[in-house]
Structure 1
Amino acid sequence: MSAEKIDLLNFLQAHPPFDQLPQQALEQAASNMDVAYYKAGSQIVELGQLLDTWHVIRSGSVEVYRRSGELYNRLSEGGYFGEVSLLQNRPSRFPVIALEDCLIYLLPKAVFSELFDSYEYFSDVVEVEDRSRLRHSVSQREDANQLMTASVKVLLTPNVLSITETATAHQAAIKMSENGISCLLITDLQSQICGIVTNTDLRDRLLTPGLALDTPVNQIMSPRVFSVEHNQQVFEAMLLMLRHNVHHLPVLKQGSAIGIITLPDIIRYETQNSLFVVSSIFKAQTLDELVSLKADVRACFVRMVREDANSRMIGGAMAVIGRSFKQRLLELGEAQLGPAPVEYCFVAMGSMAREEQLIVTDQDNAFIFDDNYQPSLHGEYFAQLGKFVCDGLAACGYSYCTGEIMASNPKWRQPLKVWQQYFSQWIDQPTPEFLLNAAIFFDLQPVYGKSGLVKQLNQLIRYKAKANSRFLACMARNAILRTPPLGFFREFVMEKDGKQSNSINIKRRGTAPLVDMIRVHALAIGSKAHNSFERLDDIIESKLLPNGRAEDLRDALELISIVRIKYQAQDLELENEPDNNIEPEALSAFERKNLKDAFQIVSDAQKFLRFKYQPGRAS
């Protein structure tokens, strides 16, 4: 066998959907594969092209587009494309362009179809991968029910224990107790699964009838074992449990049990849905009950990342959860202190107001009172309420703001007329301190109470900021202070001091400069939007930026955000405290290349900001 063929076989064995095919099928695929080279930027598949081969990426990366020209997917080594066209025998609806120099393996349509029809694992993986791509087309659905799309693999308890049918019920009970499990698979002399015994079986079939402890386990087991394949959906597993009234399902892969899922696993998984978390927040009757939900919030975050939600979905869901904590704490605070003496609005700033909140976040909040507020009469009540809410948020995982921009600070508990004075002064006299406040408070959203108070402030901001070129120049100057971490030769420039040396703070050097720049443009056009992606939609419509620049900013924000999100989720899964720092060596080659491209967009956008608003005139 030639070295080239050995290399090809090794590659196929390492990548799904080939990784579990028998040797004969692998050799069939390898013998029929051709290889093609495409230079970066070249067209691999054209819109409307009728394909006669399936494409598998050996090296490099590609971008897949919709017919509208909108980016649909990015694929790198091991990725594949063209299966929809082949399976439906229709011209391709998704043009593909080489993002970098690529080697592509080409598998003839006839061989692809034979593998698809002959091997269930191969077809399952291809179809599941296609479904995961299609998630992009329905990503606008808010809080989609992940139960309908998740694979049972996300629930898998890998601790699969068994005992032979000749063992006694007592031995089975001991093994279950020692391992803290609620069931055991029973195997015959050929090590094939022939039954299952559960805690319920031990109670109802052994103890209740008064049988001896040395009764063979095969006399009390359930001989009919229902199971699911590893790539089936959680929803299918739940239906199977309900249909047959069973609470334990072995999970099989190529006929062997690789884990067990239980009904409590499904219930616990569904509690990680963002809608369920929000519902639990509003059902909480005490601060302790709210604090106990911290783990559910983190699990919800990890779940959304694991199931390929985009940054806008994740940021929006986490912001809704954070707002819910604030609302419930205010309700509990009023129940404890009594009704508020004057009308007020509790407001959120920063990432929560923009609906871009992640798992690593602090609290930025404030009180706006009706102008009937009198400090001597009402100040003590709101001081206590502000402290109750801020302390409660800290206990629930939302750190205190190091700059004390919180409702517990009397400076940020003011009537509307004082807030109007604050904002007017910040815009008219843009000192460094006032600009810092502007960058935080100009993302302002009501959370609880009289929202009309916030509406008046937002109207003031839009009116005054748009008309003040000096203020915009000052905001632009601040927005270019934090530069992306790229050196002269596009190598990463890392932090060199503190405990996070030799890493990149991807928020401070990536998402934050982007958010700041987008905010300046949004203020310049009088946009009413708060979310950065929605602001970019307004900026595109206004034609403020040259063609394609706003779309580039959107792509860069999504890419940098999703990398930040991914590594926070990874920290949580490893039981490490998440942060905003990443080490370049932890990134895949695909992530490194695309992050550099995204950071280059940030750098170019800062240059344009300097040209557009001439921040030099702000001094």
Structure 2
Amino acid sequence: MQAELIEIRNHLTQHSPFDEMPDEFLDRIVSSIEIAYFRAGTDILKLDEPNTNLHYVRSGAVEIYRRSGELYNRITEGEIFGQFGLLMNKSVRFPAKALEDSLIYLIPDEVFQYLWENDESFTDFVETENHSRLRSALSRREKSNQPMTARVTRLISREPVMAPNTVRLQEAARIMTDRGVSALLLMDENGDKPTLSGIITDRDLRTRALCEALPSETPISDIMTEELITTRTSAFIFEAMLTMLHNNVHHLPVMEGDTVRGVIALSDIVKHESQSSLYLVSNIYHQQDVKGLRRLSKEVPNTFVRMVREDANSHMIGSAMAGIGRTFSQRLLELGEEKLGPPPVPYCFMALGSMARDEQLVVTDQDNAMVLDDRFDPEQHDEYFLALAKFVSDGLAECGYSYCTGDIMATNQKWRQPLKVWKKYFADWIENPKAEALLNSNIFFDLDGIHGRIEYTEELKTFIAEKASNSQRFLAMLARNALNRTPPLGFFRTFVMEESGRQAKTFNLKRRGTAPVSDLIRVHALACGSRAQNTFNRLKAIGQTKLIPEDGVDNLRDAFEFIAIVRIRHQALSIEAGREPDNNVRPEDLSPFERSHLKDAFQVVSQAQKFLKFRYNPQATRNV
């Protein structure tokens, strides 16, 4: 093959849909290509004129227009156009004009039709828009991801062992021993059909019965767990894993409607996924001091990398990392209470930001706060809670969760307040949405209780959802704030990068990627009164209310997933190379596949921000 043709072939293989194309197809393309040059400002394709070529941009930039003359898209090196006319009637449906001096490869229609009929990946690519290509790319990942497709029923190896909730302590222990199980399901038999009312585990027998020296005739209902966490037969194993991580439970009843089909234990998932983050979590709970936790924290990056290698999706990875972070916090709180004694009044330790959203990665600091019982008296009680907060914060720092540079931590007295004060905070931020209030809203409106009286944070979630959804002014101001961070996509669909400093020639996949998506989705979620915290769950709630079009929800979900997974892979590669992981990416370090689909994802985010601006009219708030 001539040197010029080799150069053409090499360039094609750097861009979709040619990067995964079989050699024989590439040879057919290269041997038939013609090269055309267009000066800036000249027409390449005119509306309704015949077109017999697929156009590939070798260099330069091209503007694509709608029939109305409205600008439709700008494309640059490695992108194609003209395919829609070839698929319809061989006439131009979207006119094209050279924005810069441009070199174009012309692929004849007969070659295009051959590829369309014989290469499924090529067909998928040319028939779809940006968002559909994203969906196709993500679908291929999901199909190869076994942990995502295995159901919890695979882990059920026996019928559930049950007993009436009226049995006595000794009888319950005997049943568990005879049947060789570590958990006993307790049924309420008063109705027409027995219903699940509680569970008792080996650990419960030790901590609630033996340690308290309870009589053998104690009703089992006195010590059973009543507020059960369950899963369903249709759930995936990874969903069960996330449920255990989030709720700190070791046994999950598996339900089919109102019927119990079995019980899965933490050990079942650990055996199925031998390198699961659950294994790390279970070890965290066994540590007796901060030194042990610090030693164990060194395994977190390795767990993260393993999940990336196994093609887990961003929701699974983010939830697992957040679950690990929660567990470190929970164990530190337990150790702190052992050291300082029981709390003088009830409290809830509250996670904020990415941990609350189940979107935490390995590059993270600590954002937390305390919600105290309304009987809290600073003079009598605050010395204890300050000491506890400091113990936890210092311990988290030793475990790799750096101090928050903005002092959003429970060690700050402002963020260590009774429930009634937190409600006043939130009410004031919503009613008076000044700059600081909007900043606080972005931080504190992603919240989750992780230890103590969890009902306090559940009450706050409801309070926020109800009050924010009824304040159009607040939503408009929050929407305006959400438009401050834009995706790094330039005028010609090129990446916009930092111009100076250590991060020159890079763009930040958190600040300019996942964060803008989280911000705009938070606004929509608050508008529809959702209590959800996770971005994917918020999107689901938004979709149910029809606040934005259904395809808009799907496109945002795909865009967020793709940006997040590129960010995750970047951090994993840095860890494997022995570098400090960060969020700053150089385009040349990305694969052609990643570069192409990141542009698609950023385009979706840009369109979503335009809709946000239209939906809430934030411009109207500028003079308020």
TM-score, length-scaled by structure 1: 0.60
* Cα deviations by residue, 1:334-362 (Å, 9 ceiling, x for unpaired): 01111111100001011110101111111
Counterpart contact for 2:284–2:327, Cα < 8 Å: yes
**Is the alpha carbon distance of 1:416 and 1:140 closer, same or farther for their aligned partners in structure 2, counting shifts above 3 Å?**
farther
| 1:155-234 map, 5 Å | none
Do residues 339 (structure 1) and 342 (structure 2) align? Answer: yes
Aligned to 2:72: none
Do residues 604 (structure 1) and 607 (structure 2) align? Answer: yes
Counterpart contact for 1:350–1:364, Cα < 8 Å: yes
Cα separation, 2, equivalents of 1:145 and 1:401: 42
Deviation at 1:329, TM superposition (A): 0.3
Do residues 615 (structure 1) and 624 (structure 2) align? Answer: no
Counterpart contact for 2:543–2:549, Cα < 8 Å: no
Matched residue SS, 1:351: coil
> In the alignment, which of 108, 118, 123 is matched to residue 97 of structure 1?
123
Amino acid at match of 2:364: T
**Is the alpha carbon distance of 1:433 and 1:601 closer, same or farther for their aligned partners in structure 2, counting shifts above 3 Å?**
same
**Is the alpha carbon distance of 1:335 and 1:489 closer, same or farther for their aligned partners in structure 2, counting shifts above 3 Å?**
same
Cα separation, 1, equivalents of 2:474 and 2:288: 46
Counterpart contact for 1:143–1:275, Cα < 8 Å: no
**Is the alpha carbon distance of 1:552 and 1:31 closer, same or farther for their aligned partners in structure 2, counting shifts above 3 Å?**
closer
Matched residue SS, 2:501: coil
Deviation at 1:281, TM superposition (A): 0.6
Aligned to 1:595: 598
Counterpart contact for 1:471–1:618, Cα < 8 Å: no
**Is the alpha carbon distance of 1:32 and 1:313 closer, same or farther for their aligned partners in structure 2, counting shifts above 3 Å?**
closer
Deviation at 1:36, TM superposition (A): 7.2
Counterpart contact for 1:477–1:610, Cα < 8 Å: yes
Amino acid at match of 1:335: E
| 1:569-580 map, 5 Å | 569-580=572-583
Do residues 307 (structure 1) and 307 (structure 2) align? Answer: no
Matched residue SS, 1:483: coil
Do residues 544 (structure 1) and 547 (structure 2) align? Answer: yes
Amino acid at match of 2:365: D
| 1:377-456 map, 5 Å | 377-456=380-459
Deviation at 1:546, TM superposition (A): 2.5
**Is the alpha carbon distance of 1:301 and 1:30 closer, same or farther for their aligned partners in structure 2, counting shifts above 3 Å?**
closer
Do residues 295 (structure 1) and 298 (structure 2) align? Answer: yes
Counterpart contact for 1:143–1:274, Cα < 8 Å: no
Aligned to 2:563: 560
Deviation at 1:580, TM superposition (A): 0.7
* Cα deviations by residue, 1:304-327 (Å, 9 ceiling, x for unpaired): 001111101100100110100000
* Cα deviations by residue, 1:562-605 (Å, 9 ceiling, x for unpaired): 01000000010011110110011111111111111111111111
Deviation at 1:439, TM superposition (A): 0.6
Amino acid at match of 2:571: Q
Counterpart contact for 1:282–1:324, Cα < 8 Å: yes
Higher RCO structure, 1 or 2 (CA under 8 Å, sep 6+): 2
Aligned to 1:215: none
* Cα deviations by residue, 1:166-196 (Å, 9 ceiling, x for unpaired): xxxxxxxxxxxxxxxxxxxxxxxxxxxxxxx
Amino acid at match of 1:312: H
Cα separation, 2, equivalents of 1:515 and 1:131: 25
Aligned to 1:162: none
Counterpart contact for 1:143–1:317, Cα < 8 Å: no
Amino acid at match of 1:439: N
> In the alignment, which of 511, 520, 538 is matched to residue 523 of structure 2?
520
Aligned to 2:206: none
**Is the alpha carbon distance of 1:145 and 1:592 closer, same or farther for their aligned partners in structure 2, counting shifts above 3 Å?**
farther
Deviation at 1:613, TM superposition (A): 0.2
**Is the alpha carbon distance of 1:447 and 1:583 closer, same or farther for their aligned partners in structure 2, counting shifts above 3 Å?**
same
Counterpart contact for 1:347–1:365, Cα < 8 Å: yes
**Is the alpha carbon distance of 1:416 and 1:133 closer, same or farther for their aligned partners in structure 2, counting shifts above 3 Å?**
closer
Cα separation, 2, equivalents of 1:523 and 1:513: 16
Deviation at 1:497, TM superposition (A): 2.9
Cα separation, 2, equivalents of 1:356 and 1:287: 25
**Is the alpha carbon distance of 1:473 and 1:131 closer, same or farther for their aligned partners in structure 2, counting shifts above 3 Å?**
closer
* Cα deviations by residue, 1:94-113 (Å, 9 ceiling, x for unpaired): 997342599xxxxxxxxxxx
Cα separation, 2, equivalents of 1:312 and 1:40: 37
Counterpart contact for 2:371–2:456, Cα < 8 Å: yes
Do residues 286 (structure 1) and 286 (structure 2) align? Answer: no
Counterpart contact for 1:272–1:299, Cα < 8 Å: no
Structure 2 residue ranges without an equivalent (≥5): 14-21, 31-52, 57-77, 81-117, 129-138, 156-269
Cα separation, 1, equivalents of 2:146 and 2:271: 28
Deviation at 1:369, TM superposition (A): 0.6
Identity of aligned residues (%): 52
Matched residue SS, 1:406: coil
> In the alignment, which of 533, 538, 551 is matched to residue 536 of structure 2?
533
Q: CA RMSD in A?
A: 3.4
Matched residue SS, 1:366: strand
Matched residue SS, 2:123: strand
> In the alignment, which of 448, 463, 467 is matched to residue 466 of structure 2?
463
Deviation at 1:364, TM superposition (A): 0.7
Counterpart contact for 2:142–2:148, Cα < 8 Å: no
**Is the alpha carbon distance of 1:100 and 1:359 closer, same or farther for their aligned partners in structure 2, counting shifts above 3 Å?**
farther
Deviation at 1:273, TM superposition (A): 2.3
**Is the alpha carbon distance of 1:595 and 1:144 closer, same or farther for their aligned partners in structure 2, counting shifts above 3 Å?**
farther
**Is the alpha carbon distance of 1:144 and 1:366 closer, same or farther for their aligned partners in structure 2, counting shifts above 3 Å?**
farther
Deviation at 1:145, TM superposition (A): 11
**Is the alpha carbon distance of 1:602 and 1:414 closer, same or farther for their aligned partners in structure 2, counting shifts above 3 Å?**
same
Deviation at 1:139, TM superposition (A): 1.7
* Cα deviations by residue, 1:391-422 (Å, 9 ceiling, x for unpaired): 11111111111110001111110000110100
Cα separation, 2, equivalents of 1:33 and 1:610: 44
Aligned to 1:139: 148
**Is the alpha carbon distance of 1:489 and 1:30 closer, same or farther for their aligned partners in structure 2, counting shifts above 3 Å?**
closer
Counterpart contact for 1:39–1:98, Cα < 8 Å: no
Deviation at 1:294, TM superposition (A): 2.0
Deviation at 1:610, TM superposition (A): 0.7
Matched residue SS, 2:450: strand
**Is the alpha carbon distance of 1:32 and 1:588 closer, same or farther for their aligned partners in structure 2, counting shifts above 3 Å?**
closer
Cα separation, 1, equivalents of 2:441 and 2:492: 35
**Is the alpha carbon distance of 1:586 and 1:456 closer, same or farther for their aligned partners in structure 2, counting shifts above 3 Å?**
same
Counterpart contact for 1:330–1:389, Cα < 8 Å: yes
Do residues 497 (structure 1) and 521 (structure 2) align? Answer: no
Counterpart contact for 1:142–1:313, Cα < 8 Å: no
Counterpart contact for 1:60–1:100, Cα < 8 Å: no
Aligned to 2:585: 582
Amino acid at match of 1:396: C
Matched residue SS, 1:353: coil
**Is the alpha carbon distance of 1:411 and 1:310 closer, same or farther for their aligned partners in structure 2, counting shifts above 3 Å?**
same
Counterpart contact for 2:509–2:585, Cα < 8 Å: yes
Matched residue SS, 1:402: coil
Aligned to 1:263: none
**Is the alpha carbon distance of 1:438 and 1:132 closer, same or farther for their aligned partners in structure 2, counting shifts above 3 Å?**
closer
Deviation at 1:473, TM superposition (A): 0.3
Deviation at 1:132, TM superposition (A): 7.3
Amino acid at match of 1:531: N
Amino acid at match of 1:606: Q
Amino acid at match of 2:383: E
Counterpart contact for 1:145–1:273, Cα < 8 Å: no
Counterpart contact for 2:469–2:526, Cα < 8 Å: yes
